[in-house]
Amino acid sequence: MIPPYLWQEIAQLTGEHFVLVLVSMAIAAGAGLPLGILLTRRASLRTPLLGFANVMQTIPSLALFGFLIPIPFIGGIGKRTAIFALVLYALLPILRNTLAGILGVDRAVRESAIAMGMTGRQLLWEVELPLAAPTILAGIRIATVTTIGTATIAAAIGGGGLGVFIFRGIASVDSTQILAGAIPAALLALLSDGGFSWIERRFSVV
Amino acid sequence: MDRGLNAQPALEFRGVSYRINGSIILENLSFCIDPGRTLVLLGRSGSGKTTALKMVNGLLFPSSGQVLVESRATSDWDLIQLRRSIGYVIQEVGLFPHFTIGENVGLVPRLNGWTPHRITARVAELLHQVGLDPVRFLNRYPRELSGGQRQRVGVARALAAEPKLLLFDEPFGALDPVTRVELQDQFLELRDRLQITSIFVTHDVREALRLCSEIALLHRGKLEILAKPADFMDCQGPEARAFLSTL
C-alpha cells in the first residue's frame, strides 16, 4: 500500500502542479485573448503571429524546456522558465480560437450592430465576445488540459510539480512513483475538463 | 405630402458613384426623397441597390459624389449618431441571438441612454405595433421565433429610437408569400401612421408597386427610371419592361 509520507508528497506536488498550470494559463489567456482580438482587427498580423505560435507548438516540449535554460531573464532553472514554456504552448489554441470565434460571428449580426450605431468597443463587448465565448472557452479548455500534461516535464528543469514523481520513478525504475505522478495529473486534467464543461453549460446563452 | 412646410429633401443622392477593385457598382446616381415618402429601389441582383442603401447610414461611402441626409453629407455626420437615427432592416434580420426580444428591440434606445423605464414602455408599445404580444415575446430569444415573427422584431427594432429614416434591404424576401403580404400591410400601416421617410430595396416589382411613393429602377449601377407607380407601368425601357413582364 501507499505509505503516508507519499500521500503527503502527492498532495504537495499536486498543489505545485496546479499552481504551475494556473499561473501559466492566466498569463496565456491574459496575453492570448487581447492578441486574438487584435488579430481580428489586423489581418496582416495573422500570418506572422499564428505562424510563431504554430512553430512553438511543433518544438518537442522537452527540447523547448532545454532551449530556454541558457536564455537570460526568462531562462535558467526553475519555475519561471517552466511557466514561460507552458505559456508558449498554451498560446496557440487560445489565439486561434479567439480569432475563429470572433470571425465566426454571423455577418448579418455584426452588420446590424454596426448599422444600429454601436461603437467599436460596444460591438466587441456586447456582440462579438459573448457570441465568440463558447469557441474561446473551448480553446482555453484544450490549452488547460494539454498544459496539465505538459507541465509534468517542468520537473526536468527544476520546475517542480507532479513530474518530479515521474522522472524519479523513471530513474529508479519504480512504477509506484511514476503512478504517483501520473494518476493525480490525469485526475487534474479530468477535473478541469469537467469544470470547463460545467462553465460552458452554465453560461451558454445561445 | 406637405411639401410646402419643408421643401428640403430628407435624403439626396448627388452624383454618387461607387467603384471597387476597378469595377463600377454605381454610376452617377442622383435622386431626392421628400420627407415622409417611400422610395423603392428596384433592380436585379447586382444592380447596386444594396450598395446604394448602405451609403445612407455610412456603411459605405461614395467613391465620388455625395449622399446628403438632411442636407448634410454622410461624411460630415458623426457616424454613430447618424446610424442611431436611421432604422435598418435586412433580409437576414440580424437579431442578436444572445439578447432577448425585449433587449433586441430596446438596443438603440439603450445606446442613446434612455432610462430603463422608458425603454420598457417603448419596447412594449413597439411589439404591439408590429403585431406581437409583448407579454408572450418580451423574454424569449430570437431562435424561438418563426421567420415572420423575427422580421417583425427586426422592424420593431428599427423603429425603436424614433428614427428619421428607415432603410429596408429586401426585408421580406425570405418569407413565405402569405407572411410577406402580412408584413407588407404592416409596413404600409406603420408608414402611413408614422410618416417616416423610407428607402426600400427589392427585386420584386409587385412589392415595389405596392409599397412605393416612387420607384427608382437601377440597372447595372445606373438609374434607369425614377417614376411614380402609375407612370412606371407605362415605361417602355427594356429593363422596365423586363420587370413589368413578371407581373
Between B38 and B7, whose confidence is greater? B38
Q: Are B101 and B151 in contact (CB under 8 A)?
A: no
Measured CA to CA, the distance from residue B136 to residue B131 in angstroms comes to: 12
- Given a cut of 60, is residue B166 above it in pLDDT? yes
Collect all residues with Cβ–Cβ distance below 8 Å to A5 and sequence separation of at least 6. Answer: none
* Contact assignment for A109 to B94 by CB distance below 8 Å: yes
Mean per-residue pLDDT over chain B, rounded: 92
* Contact assignment for B94 to A118 by CB distance below 8 Å: no
Establish if A129 touches chain B: CB-CB under 8 angstroms. no
In chain B, what residues touch A206 (CB-CB under 8 Å)?
Answer: 97-98, 141, 143
Beta bridge partners of B197: B165
The mean pLDDT value for B224-245 works out to 90
Tell me which chain A residue has its CA closest to the CA of residue B160.
Answer: A116
Q: What is the pLDDT of residue B6?
A: 54
In chain A, what residues touch B141 (CB-CB under 8 Å)?
Answer: 206
Q: What is the pLDDT of residue A63?
A: 87
Give the Cα-Cα-Cα angle B122, B125, B128 (nearest 5 degrees): 150
Tell me which chain B residue has its CA closest to the CA of residue A111.
Answer: B94
Q: How many other C-beta atoms lie within 10 A of the C-beta of residue A54?
A: 12
Q: What is the pLDDT of residue B5?
A: 53
Establish if B26 touches chain A: CB-CB under 8 angstroms. no
User: Number of Cβ pairs closer than 8 Å across A and B?
Assistant: 59
* Contact assignment for B107 to A131 by CB distance below 8 Å: no
Tell me the three state secondary structure of residue B90. Answer: strand
Between A108, A119, A206, which is nearest B92 by CB?
A: A108
pLDDT, tens digit (0-9, with 9 covering 90-100), for A143-163: 999 999 999 999 988 889 999
Which of A102, A112, A122 should one mutate to test binding to chain B, selecting the residue with the greatest count of B CBs within 10 A? A112
- Written as one letter, the residue type at B236 is Q
Q: Picking from A27-36, A195-204, B134-143, B193-202, which range would have the lowest pLDDT averaged per residue?
A: A195-204
Can you give the pTM of this predicted structure?
A: 0.87
Establish if B150 touches chain A: CB-CB under 8 angstroms. no
* Contact assignment for B95 to A109 by CB distance below 8 Å: yes
Tell me which chain A residue has its CA closest to the CA of residue B86.
Answer: A116
Q: What is the pLDDT of residue B181?
A: 93
Chain A residues 95-124 with a CB less than 8 Å from chain B = 106-109, 111-119, 122
Q: What is the pLDDT of residue A206?
A: 58
Measured CA to CA, the distance from residue B204 to residue A30 in angstroms comes to: 51
Q: How many other C-beta atoms lie within 10 A of the C-beta of residue B121?
A: 12
Between A108, A117, A127, which is nearest B108 by CB?
A: A117
If pLDDT is split at 50, 70 and 90, which confidence band does A205 have? Answer: low
- Given a cut of 80, is residue B47 above it in pLDDT? yes
- Written as one letter, the residue type at B67 is V
* Contact assignment for B59 to A114 by CB distance below 8 Å: yes
Establish if A173 touches chain B: CB-CB under 8 angstroms. no
Q: How many other C-beta atoms lie within 10 A of the C-beta of residue B162?
A: 13
Residue A104 Cα, gap to closest chain B Cα (Å): 13
Q: Give the whole-number percent of chain B exceeding pLDDT 70.
A: 97
Going by the DSSP 8-state scheme, the letter that residue B47 receives in this structure is S
Q: Give the whole-number percent of chain B exceeding pLDDT 90.
A: 87
Tell me the ipTM for this assembly: 0.90
Q: Which helix (H) or strand (E) covers residue A79, if one does?
A: helix A79-103
Q: Write B23-27 long-range contacts (CB < 8 A, 24+).
A: B24/B221, B25/B51, B25/B221, B26/B51, B26/B52, B26/B62, B26/B221, B27/B220, B27/B221, B27/B222
- Given a cut of 80, is residue B36 above it in pLDDT? yes
In chain A, what residues touch B83 (CB-CB under 8 Å)?
Answer: 114-117
Establish if B81 touches chain A: CB-CB under 8 angstroms. yes
The mean pLDDT value for A97-107 works out to 95
* Contact assignment for B94 to A131 by CB distance below 8 Å: no
Between A106, A111, A117, which is nearest B80 by CB?
A: A117
Residue A15 Cα, gap to closest chain B Cα (Å): 38
Alpha-carbon dihedral A188, A190, A195, A201, rounded to 10 degrees: 170
Measured CA to CA, the distance from residue B125 to residue B121 in angstroms comes to: 6
- Given a cut of 70, is residue A176 above it in pLDDT? yes
* Contact assignment for B88 to A112 by CB distance below 8 Å: yes
Measured CA to CA, the distance from residue B23 to residue B37 in angstroms comes to: 32
Establish if A66 touches chain B: CB-CB under 8 angstroms. no
Tell me which chain B residue has its CA closest to the CA of residue A131.
Answer: B98
Q: Give the whole-number percent of chain A exceeding pLDDT 90.
A: 71
Q: What is the pLDDT of residue A53?
A: 84
Q: How many other C-beta atoms lie within 10 A of the C-beta of residue A34?
A: 11
The mean pLDDT value for A47-74 works out to 85
Measured CA to CA, the distance from residue A83 to residue A90 in angstroms comes to: 10
pLDDT, tens digit (0-9, with 9 covering 90-100), for B178-224: 999 999 999 999 988 999 999 999 999 999 999 999 999 999 999 99
Q: Where are the alpha helices (DSSP H) in B57-195?
A: 79-84, 101-105, 107-111, 116-129, 134-137, 147-159, 177-194
